[in-house]
Amino acid sequence: MENNTKMAITPKGLKYLLVGLIVMISGYILMMGGGSEDPEVFNYAMFDFRRMVAAPIVIILGIVIEIVAIMGVFKSKKEE
């Protein structure tokens, strides 16, 4: 066996990991809010489009980016 000094993830893959993390965090930020000050009053704002549709799609997109970053094979400029 030879001593392999290569990293398991390339710098491009690491950038994708960070972008996916930022996208997922933004999806959770989109999901925040919609609470009511008075517990006796129901607030329908928690069922709007942003929280029920847009935020989960953004989170799933972040997960897909993470999967691509982990599973993808990125060639470095030195190998080309």
**pLDDT tops 60 at residue 79:** no
Rounded Cα distance between 10 and 25, Å, is: 23
Q: Which residue has the higher pLDDT, 46 or 2?
A: 46
pLDDT of residue 45: 79
Residue among 70, 72, 53, 59 at smallest CA distance from 21: 59
Residue among 30, 75, 26, 74 at smallest CA distance from 49: 30
Rounded Cα distance between 69 and 73, Å, is: 8
User: Model confidence over 14-60: pLDDT tens digits?
Assistant: 999 999 999 999 999 999 977 778 888 887 878 899 999 999 999 99
Q: Which residue has the higher pLDDT, 63 or 72?
A: 63
pLDDT of residue 1: 53
Residue among 57, 66, 67, 55 at smallest CA distance from 21: 66
Q: Would you kindly state where each structural domain of the chain is located, as residue ranges? A: 11-71
**pLDDT tops 60 at residue 80:** no
Residue 42, Cα to own-chain centre: how many angstroms? 31
